[in-house]
């Protein structure tokens, strides 16, 4: 009797497309974690490890989606294959069954090391990019937390006398972030009309 194909997807943030990782691959069930590579808490992976049974195939887009580092990768693959569960990595075109040759085990270590190395290079490039942007004075930091409509609604409510601290709590942003929107609104008003200071607390 054939087992099920179980998909595992990990995306770093909620804004990433979680469907593209296994696009075109039909899975009986898919587990999706929204967590960064350094995050040790991945509840959906834990659920998958409990759910899979002998004869199943666990399909993952790439090695770095399954594990945070080489040691964890080897541990997870060995744990699954020892339970007669096949592990399939789409990007690397590698499949592990537990009856793998020494060459296949070597490939697991080599490809896993490459994935870990690529991830570290990406992080280093990001750090260097941020440092250079700060030197040039163009680093913007994190994106703003409000949509344009929400920002306009907050400004309107401040103009009507509502307390900034209560609005910040309602919209789930810090008061510092709210003050940035107020500052931007005052700056815009000063360009096109007499300044109306939004000072309600």
DSSP 59: E
Q: What share of the chain is helix, strand, coil (3-state, %, to 5)?
A: 50, 10, 40
* Cβ-proximal residues to 102 (8 Å cutoff; 6+ apart), any chain: none
- The rounded distance, in Å, linking the Cα atoms of 150 and 6 is 40
Q: What are the distances in angstroms from CA 117 to CA 70, 120, 121, 185, 199?
A: 10, 5, 6, 45, 51
Among the listed residues 12, 47, 62, 150, the single catalytic one is 12
32's tokens: 């999706």
CB–CB of 33/18 below 8 Å? Answer: no
Residue 12 is a catalytic residue:
yes
197's tokens: 């200071």
Q: Which residues pair with 5 in a beta bridge?
A: 57
Which residues are known catalytic residues?
A: 12
């Amino acid at each position: 009797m054939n087992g099920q194909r179980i998909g595992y997807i990990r995306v770093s943030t909620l804004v990433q497309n979680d469907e593209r990782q296994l696009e075109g691959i039909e899975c009986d069930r898919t587990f999706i974690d929204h967590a960064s590579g350094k995050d040790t808490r991945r509840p959906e992976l834990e659920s998958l490890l409990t759910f899979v049974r002998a004869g199943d195939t666990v399909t993952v887009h790439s090695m770095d989606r399954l594990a945070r580092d080489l040691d964890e990768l080897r541990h997870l693959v060995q744990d699954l294959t020892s339970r007669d569960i096949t592990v399939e990595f789409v990007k690397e075109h590698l499949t592990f069954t537990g009856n793998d040759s020494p060459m296949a085990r070597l490939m697991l270590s080599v490809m896993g090391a490459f994935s870990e190395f690529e991830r570290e290079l990406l992080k280093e490039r990001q750090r260097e990019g941020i440092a250079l942007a700060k030197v040039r004075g163009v680093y913007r930091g994190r994106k703003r937390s409000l949509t344009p409509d929400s920002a306009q609604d907050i400004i309107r409510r401040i103009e009507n006398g509502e307390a900034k601290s209560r609005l910040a709590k309602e919209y789930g942003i810090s008061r510092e972030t709210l003050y940035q929107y107020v500052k931007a609104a005052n700056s815009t008003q000063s360009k096109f009309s007499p300044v109306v200071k939004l000072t309600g607390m």
